């Protein structure tokens, strides 16, 4: 089966699989390709909080456990012509060596490169299995990746092997990225016209809690305990948000909502921060919830996977990045992960998003070398 990485990327872009809408159609398109390549395909459907159908898949070529997994997502952030796009964001446009369109870089181009690399191999070639994973909702708390990590039988088999998260890194090896923590704290009041003095202002109970959160804010930015010099920046912010969603200034606020987000780094004892926040909320009579807790990705720089990735990509040294990927979920099962993909993360989520065509072709060749090294030759 012959696939052209540029044409395939354009085909994928044509599906407007914005995270708040369904990704089922574009996933079915990918399944059709995998079926023709004789992959076994495991489907993991779910309905999101808005009642929208979503679909993630894990596909396997070959027998046994471990091997190599190429990990991508097919949801994209929103794109509207009125944002300033110079052409239809869902029609891949070629211009001066670049392919423009929503998802060209993040990450339908990288996904296309994994599929094109897979076409170069047959099951009879493989000593170890090749897996292709495509998730939904990466842009929304990695929901699809959590479905895969928790429920997929094929991913359970693959988890002992190597994983390449194919997000854009300009084909440089990334051995670690920060995690993601999201907390929500709520105060409940009683609505009334402010002139009556009969209301209960929900913000009042939140104020002493916020003072204690300011202490944690200062702590995580200053303490060496929460510093990791491998990253830039070397600290993460205890990012505090507050909103009472009040309908008018003459109505007593009936609710107050505090949100806290934090990007933990490898070695950070985030559990004690969570517990400290929980106890503070309890003391002040507030409702507390952990909405998301994604662990950082960290594969030691001297690990076999990192050394192999450097060798095959011709990169001198691996690096870290401050953002996150689906690895937040995959790392709960798969311990050997690196981020390695075509394109520049600076283009992700931008108006007139683009990826260099040369990067796409280089990615196909690099992923092919990886498949040959791990799955055909059976090497570490």
- Any idea where the domains of the chain sit in the sequence? 5-177+296-376, 180-294
CATH class of 5-177+296-376: alpha beta
- Supply the pLDDT for residue 83: 94
The whole-angstrom separation of Cα 293 and Cα 44 is 21
In this prediction the pTM is 0.92
User: How would DSSP label each residue in 157-189?
Assistant: HHTTSEEEE---STT--EEEE--EEEEEEEEE-
| pLDDT single digits (tens) 301-358 | 999 999 999 999 999 999 999 889 999 999 999 999 999 999 999 999 999 999 999 9
In order along its 380 residues, the chain shows pLDDT tens digits of: 889 999 999 999 999 999 999 999 999 999 999 999 999 999 999 999 999 999 999 999 999 999 999 999 999 999 998 999 999 999 999 999 999 999 999 999 999 999 999 999 999 999 999 999 999 999 988 999 999 999 999 999 999 999 999 999 999 999 999 999 999 999 999 999 999 999 999 999 999 999 999 999 999 999 999 999 999 999 999 999 999 999 999 999 999 999 999 999 998 889 999 999 999 999 999 999 999 998 899 999 999 999 999 999 999 999 999 889 999 999 999 999 999 999 999 999 999 999 999 999 999 999 999 999 999 999 98
Residues 341/107, Cβ–Cβ less than 8 Å: yes
The whole-angstrom separation of Cα 17 and Cα 54 is 10
Query: Which of 3.40.190.10, 3.30.70.360, 3.40.50.300, 3.20.10.10 is the CATH number of 180-294?
Result: 3.30.70.360
| pLDDT single digits (tens) 126-144 | 999 999 999 999 998 899 9
Query: Whose CA is closest to 192, among 135, 150, 252?
Result: 252
């Amino acid at each position: 089966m012959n696939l052209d990485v540029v044409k395939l990327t354009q085909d994928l872009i044509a599906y407007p699989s914005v995270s708040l809408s369904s990704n089922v159609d574009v996933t079915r398109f990918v399944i059709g390709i995998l079926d023709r390549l004789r992959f076994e395909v495991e489907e993991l459907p779910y309905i999101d909080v808005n009642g929208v159908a979503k679909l993630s898949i894990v596909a396997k070529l070959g027998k046994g456990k471990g091997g190599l997994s190429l990990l991508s997502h097919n949801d994209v952030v929103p794109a509207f012509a009125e944002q300033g796009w110079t052409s239809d964001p869902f029609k891949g446009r070629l211009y001066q060596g670049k392919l423009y369109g929503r998802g060209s870089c993040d990450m339908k181009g990288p996904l296309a490169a994994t599929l094109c690399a897979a076409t170069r191999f047959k099951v009879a070639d493989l000593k170890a299995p090749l897996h292709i994973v495509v998730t939904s909702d990466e842009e929304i708390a990695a929901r699809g990746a959590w479905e895969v990590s928790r429920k997929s039988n094929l991913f359970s088999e693959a988890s002992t092997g190597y994983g390449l998260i194919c997000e854009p890194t300009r084909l440089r090896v990334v051995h670690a990225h920060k995690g993601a923590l999201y907390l929500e704290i709520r105060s409940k009041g009683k609505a009334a016209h402010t002139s009556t003095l009969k209301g209960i202002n929900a913000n009042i109970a939140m104020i002493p809690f916020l003072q204690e959160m300011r202490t944690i804010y200062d702590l995580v930015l200053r303490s060496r305990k929460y510093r990791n010099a491998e990253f830039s920046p070397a600290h993460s912010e205890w990012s505090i948000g507050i909103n009472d969603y009040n309908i008018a200034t003459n109505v007593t606020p009936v609710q107050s909502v505090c949100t806290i987000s934090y990007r933990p780094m490898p070695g950070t004892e985030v559990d004690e921060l969570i517990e400290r926040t929980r106890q503070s909320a309890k003391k002040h009579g507030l409702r507390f919830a952990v909405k998301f807790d994604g662990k950082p990705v960290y594969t030691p720089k001297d690990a076999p996977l990192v050394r192999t990735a450097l060798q095959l990509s011709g990169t001198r040294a691996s690096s870290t990045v401050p953002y996150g990927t689906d690895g937040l979920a995959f790392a709960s099962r798969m311990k050997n992960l690196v981020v390695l993909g075509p394109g520049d993360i600076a283009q992700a989520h931008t108006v007139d998003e683009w990826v260099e065509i040369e990067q796409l072709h280089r990615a196909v060749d690099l992923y092919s070398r990886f498949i040959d090294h791990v799955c055909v030759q059976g090497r570490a």
